[in-house]
Amino acid sequence: MNEEYLVLGVIALYFVSVFGVGALASRGQQATREEYVAGNRSLGLVVMYFLMGGAVFSAFAFLGGPGWAYSKGAASFYILAYSALGILPWWLWAPRTWMAGKKFGYVTQAQLIRGRFNSRLLSVMVAIVTILAFVQYVTVQMKASGYILELASNGLIPFWAGSLIAYIVVVLYVFLGGLRSVAWTNVFQGAFMIITAWVLGLYFVYALYDGPADMFQRIAEEVPSHLLIGPGSSMGYGEYSSIMIISILGFTMWPHLFMKAYAARSPKTLKQMIVIYPTFSIFLVPVLFIGFAGVLQVSPIELGDVDRILPWMFTNAGFHPLAIGLVLAAALAAAMSTQDTVTHAAGSVFVEDIVKASSRKHDSENPESAAHDRTLIRLAVVLFGFASYMIAIVGGQTLVSLLVGAYGSIVQIFPLIAATFFWRRATAAGATAGFIVGTIIYYGMVFGFVPGFYDLHPGLVGLVINIVIIFVVSILTKPMDCAHVSQFINILEHDESSINSNRNHR
Amino acid sequence: MMQVARWLIGLTLIAIAVLQVFYWVFANSAEPIVLGLPFGMFFVSSLIGIEFFALLALYFFDQSGDDKK
């Protein structure tokens, strides 16, 4: 009994620290939407790195990663590869998005799309699809924190209460400090997770085997198909490749990541962040070790749910309660550092792109309405949190399949962003038609109204059709005003002086 | 010159992406075990390492290109 209190004590201490960091970061902020949503466009390299990294180092990686390494083996390599490659398209979007934000005062992704295509309908649709995907995403993280606290307390804290406690902490600091609190808590949580992951991954490999080479040698001998993909393994070739493509193209389309481009100090900071970002994937290698180490230790039937492999491993390793507390706190950090940024983005998108888009008269530059915006976003944060919590305590899929599911709808935004900056001829009608059809096909396949296409990811099938339709419909409709479109296509050619004068003008 | 270098690095990054997406064509094997990793995992991780250096080079050329302007 005492042991559980020790474990819970460590976790409680962790909660207090995270909340403390979040609350500290919220001090002395201006009460504006640009501050609350985009940190006043002033974040530096280190904060940006952890802000974006916290999203990859989510419960998906920390619990889902070992779960995949354990149950699907080689298929889990995709987690390493996509998290390093997914950031690449940002080299193209991020500096342009930053400029557009500075020039037109945007703070969300849908505002950019609305600006380029002059279409309120399109941006509202993007915002709705976004929020649906966010709910799935946050649900994944909530389930993880529920498992963790249930385990830490040996069942004393039931699943529903565990998810709730962790989420209340998140909503509290997001409520208080907006993006700045999200960013600084992510720095703290990110560093904590990385250290724990390495210590733990290497510990298991050396405690249970004679190092990684011995471990993989034995897996290769005893379960040969585990380190392969393709027929006879847990994942087909087409499935692996299409999930990779969807994840690489979709990664920066996630609106909570995309909108971080507005928060950086300068385009240079964004580029530096992209350069060092692949290091996060290397940090994930020992996370997979944890799952591989479990392959020869416990059968999936005995384990029940594959996402419980990490907790199973250390509860059976005879760790000291303090160590168990630290590991569980790190796993919570993974879940919470994703929850906070998604919840923050969901609140912002809901207010900026849905509520405000429906009221024509709105002056964001007026200090009074800027403060009013912040209040609205705070309210939306709490509402979104409550709604996704209700969904989390009902659902039942594994962590990764939930997330891969959400990617399929988000990747449909890809052609819109590409066209925003790179294809002059794209029209609002084309973009709208492509997005609607792509999204419907994707959801249709997921829910079984539309037949699947071999073992390809439904999101990829939707994406291909989406691109074809944007192309055909745009060509058939009247081109958009050239001067208007040039503002986006040639955005990097506008020099600093024009931006400054534009800003003063506002 | 800088422009050519940037294009070359861009193509390298695309090539890395293609290799990763179709990693199973080249490295769908547990043997040999290199640096403690099964060959497939070693292949995927090495490409991430190469990607990092390619990005570093891209940043370098990008900045020196900007300064000239």
Q: How far is CA B48 from the centre of its chain?
A: 6
CB pairs under 8 A between A and B: 95
Q: Which residues of A touch B46 (CB under 8 A)?
A: none
Which are the contacts of A267, defined by CB distance < 8 A and separation ≥ 6?
A94, A95, A98, A99
> What average pLDDT does this structure show over A262-289?
89
Q: Which residues of A touch B27 (CB under 8 A)?
A: none
**pLDDT score of A503:** 45
> 3-class SS at A147?
helix
pLDDT digits (tens, 9 = 90+) for A31-85: 777 787 877 788 888 888 888 887 767 666 777 788 888 888 888 888 888 888 9
The DSSP element (H or E) to which A444 belongs, if any, is helix A428-447
The verdict on a CB contact (< 8 Å) between B36 and A212 is: yes
pLDDT digits (tens, 9 = 90+) for A317-374: 778 888 888 888 888 888 888 888 888 888 888 888 888 776 655 555 566 666 777 8
The verdict on a CB contact (< 8 Å) between B28 and A228 is: yes
Give the span between the Cα atoms of A399 and A136, in whole angstroms: 10
Counting Cβ atoms within 10 Å, is residue B67 exposed (0-12), middle (13-18) or buried (19+)? exposed
The confidence band for B65, taking pLDDT boundaries of 50, 70 and 90, is: low
> 3-class SS at B4?
helix
Chain B closest CA to A293's CA: distance in Å? 13
The confidence band for A405, taking pLDDT boundaries of 50, 70 and 90, is: low
A377 vs A88: which has the higher pLDDT: A88
The verdict on a CB contact (< 8 Å) between A216 and B30 is: yes
Q: Which residues of A touch B52 (CB under 8 A)?
A: 84, 275-276, 278-279
pLDDT digits (tens, 9 = 90+) for A116-138: 998 888 988 998 888 888 887 88
Report the sign of the C-alpha dihedral through residues A441, A456, A91, A425, in that order: negative
- At A339, list the tokens: 């929850």
Q: Is the pLDDT of residue A214 over 50?
A: yes
A406 vs A178: which has the higher pLDDT: A178
> What average pLDDT does this structure show over A87-100?
92
pLDDT digits (tens, 9 = 90+) for A3-15: 778 888 888 898 8
pLDDT digits (tens, 9 = 90+) for A234-250: 788 888 888 889 889 98
The verdict on a CB contact (< 8 Å) between B30 and A220 is: yes
Q: Which of B20, B39, B61 to mutate to test the interface with A (most CBs of A within 10 A)?
A: B20
Report the chain A residue with the minimal C-alpha distance to residue B10: A88
Give the span between the Cα atoms of A411 and A441, in whole angstroms: 13
The confidence band for A502, taking pLDDT boundaries of 50, 70 and 90, is: very low
Q: Is the pLDDT of residue B14 over 80?
A: yes
Q: Is the pLDDT of residue A223 over 90?
A: no
Q: Which residues of B touch A460 (CB under 8 A)?
A: none
Counting Cβ atoms within 10 Å, is residue B14 exposed (0-12), middle (13-18) or buried (19+)? exposed
Give the span between the Cα atoms of A376 and A354, in whole angstroms: 12
Q: Which residues of B touch A82 (CB under 8 A)?
A: 20
Give the span between the Cα atoms of A467 and A485, in whole angstroms: 19
The verdict on a CB contact (< 8 Å) between A278 and B59 is: no
> What average pLDDT does this structure show over A139-167?
84
Chain A closest CA to B56's CA: distance in Å? 6
**pLDDT score of A506:** 38
The verdict on a CB contact (< 8 Å) between B48 and A81 is: yes
Q: Which residues of A touch B13 (CB under 8 A)?
A: 88
For residue B48, give the nearest of A84, A216, A240 by CB distance: A84
> What average pLDDT does this structure show over A468-475?
94
- At A92, list the tokens: 């193209």
Q: Which residues pair with A157 in a beta bridge?
A: none
For residue B37, give the nearest of A212, A228, A268 by CB distance: A212
ipTM of the complex: 0.91
Q: Which of B11, B23, B24 to mutate to test the interface with A (most CBs of A within 10 A)?
A: B24
> What average pLDDT does this structure show over A22-26?
83
For residue B20, give the nearest of A216, A244, A285 by CB distance: A244
Half-sphere exposure of A154 (CA within 13 A, CB side): 10
Q: Is the pLDDT of residue A378 over 90?
A: no
**pLDDT score of B66:** 60
**pLDDT score of B69:** 45
**pLDDT score of A499:** 47
Q: Which of A82, A214, A239, A275 to mutate to test the interface with B (most CBs of B within 10 A)?
A: A275
Q: Is the pLDDT of residue A416 over 90?
A: yes
Half-sphere exposure of B8 (CA within 13 A, CB side): 7
The verdict on a CB contact (< 8 Å) between B45 and A282 is: yes
Lowest mean pLDDT segment, chosen from A91-95, A447-451, A472-476: A447-451
Q: Is the pLDDT of residue A157 over 90?
A: no
- Chain mean pLDDT for chain A: 83
Please report, for residues A49, A74, A243, A453, A459, the alpha-carbon distance to residue A239 in angstroms, rounded to integers and kept in the order given. 30, 13, 6, 11, 11
- At A466, list the tokens: 């989406």
Q: Which of A56, A90, A237, A241 to mutate to test the interface with B (most CBs of B within 10 A)?
A: A241
Q: Which residues pair with B34 in a beta bridge?
A: B37
Give the span between the Cα atoms of A9 and A16, in whole angstroms: 11
Counting Cβ atoms within 10 Å, is residue A158 exposed (0-12), middle (13-18) or buried (19+)? middle
For residue B44, give the nearest of A77, A228, A245 by CB distance: A77
